[in-house]
């Protein structure tokens, strides 16, 4: 079956698949799967900082002599507006297909290359403006709960064998078209940086990535900033520091969700749900911040 080079396997979703997903909820309970973002929030690696800066305030309008509604304003009507700056990979987000590159030609999913398809305003192919809406069945695989832990230790790999055991224990099956969310417990310590460091970058290894791919997931995610375990326990030869991103995102167009808040789903033992995430269509962006929801 052919795959859309701009949207990957997620483009195969049919109207009847959406209707089937919408029929999943029976209680009408909604879970937010994102935490609030704030100035100076913890971020992975060398990402630019997330900042909210006021651009317009009532006092500033008066001081600058601005009259946005003209001179007749006896009630002192004012307004506030801000500038939000930071990477699209701040907090709960989805990676666009153009997020990760590999090889000397810096290519990404679908064969696009930096030389041919990257401008000063971002990638022209597979950027965030091409991200699809996600309205589908969601599955939670709660790894630390299965182990009897509050959270996985730092850099702990999760294998295909363990994901299969978790799914069987929870009584859920991963099906084609699903979004599969894997909990590590990392965000339970948000935003305590020291506590986060004790649990950072646990996640699926390459065997788990193959397991997810074989079952037809169109997107996968976790509560960590890297999704996959870091450092990679099996980088291969030549060494690849992110083999899971390579296999799923670059080679197969499987979307990656990161920093997804899963603690409430875990608390209530919600393992199957309607998953909805609507990315912002921003040309040239390499991902989209989200406030995804699970509905049961």
What are the pLDDT digits (tens) for 221-261?
A: 999 999 999 999 999 999 999 999 999 999 999 999 999 99
Label residue 33 exposed, middle or buried (CB < 10 Å: 0-12, 13-18, 19+).
buried
Indicate if the pLDDT at residue 2 is higher than 70. Answer: no
Q: What is the domain partition of the chain in residue ranges?
A: 9-37+88-295, 51-85
Residue 169: enclosing H or E segment and its boundaries? helix 160-170
Confidence of residue 5 (pLDDT cuts 50, 70, 90): confident
- Taking residue 97's Cβ as centre, other Cβ atoms within 10 Å add up to 30
Provide φ and ψ at 214, rounded to 5°.
Answer: -65, -30
Measured CA to CA, the distance from residue 126 to residue 214 in angstroms comes to 23
Q: How far is CA 220 from CA 46, 95, 212, in A?
A: 23, 11, 8
- Res 57: pLDDT: 98
Ramachandran assignment for 232, one of left (phi > 0), alpha (psi -120 to 50 degrees), beta (any other): beta
Q: pLDDT tens digits, residue range 199-208? A: 999 999 999 9
Do residues 139 and 106 lie in contact, with contact meaning Cβ atoms separated by under 8 Å?
no
pLDDT at 3 over 60: yes
Find the mean pLDDT for residues 27-47: 96
Name which of 139, 285, 111 is nearest 215 in CA terms.
139
Whole-number Å distance between alpha carbons of 218 and 132: 11
pTM of the complete model: 0.96
- Model confidence over 117-131: pLDDT tens digits? 999 999 999 999 999
Of the chain, the percentage scoring pLDDT greater than 90 comes to 97
Residue-wise pLDDT tens digits, 258-292: 999 999 999 999 999 999 999 999 999 999 999 99
Question: Which CATH architecture describes the domain 9-37+88-295?
Answer: 3-Layer(bba) Sandwich (3.50)
Q: Which residue has the tokens 């995430």?
A: 277
Contact 140, 181 (CB under 8 A): yes
For 83-119, write each residue's pLDDT tens digit: 999 999 999 999 999 999 999 999 999 999 999 999 9
């Amino acid at each position: 079956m052919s795959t859309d080079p701009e949207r990957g396997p997620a483009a195969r979703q049919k109207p009847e698949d959406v209707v089937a997903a919408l029929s999943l909820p029976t209680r009408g309970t909604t879970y937010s799967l994102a935490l609030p973002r704030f100035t100076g929030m913890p971020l992975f690696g060398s990402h630019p900082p997330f900042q909210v800066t006021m651009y317009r305030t009532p006092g500033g309008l008066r001081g600058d002599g601005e009259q946005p509604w003209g001179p007749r304003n006896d009630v002192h009507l004012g307004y506030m507006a801000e500038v939000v700056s930071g990477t699209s990979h701040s907090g709960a987000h989805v990676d666009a297909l153009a997020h990760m590159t590999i090889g000397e030609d810096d290519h990404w999913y679908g064969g696009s290359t930096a030389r041919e398809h990257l401008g000063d305003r971002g990638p022209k192919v597979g950027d965030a403006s091409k991200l699809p809406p996600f309205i589908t069945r969601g599955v939670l695989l709660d790894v630390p709960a299965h182990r009897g832990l509050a959270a996985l230790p730092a850099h702990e790999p999760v294998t295909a064998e363990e994901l299969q055991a978790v799914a069987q224990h929870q009584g859920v099956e991963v099906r084609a078209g699903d979004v599969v969310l894997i909990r590590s417990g990392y965000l339970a310590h948000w935003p305590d940086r020291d506590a986060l460091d004790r649990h950072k970058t646990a996640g699926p290894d390459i065997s788990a990535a193959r397991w997810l791919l074989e079952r037809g997931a169109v997107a996968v995610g976790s509560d960590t900033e890297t999704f996959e375990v870091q450092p990679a326990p099996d980088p291969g030869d030549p060494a690849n520091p992110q083999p899971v991103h390579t296999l799923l995102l670059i080679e197969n167009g499987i979307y990656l969700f990161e920093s997804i808040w899963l603690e409430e789903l875990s608390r209530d033992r919600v393992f199957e749900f309607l998953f909805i995430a609507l990315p912002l269509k921003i040309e040239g962006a390499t991902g989209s911040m989200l406030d995804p929801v699970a509905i049961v």
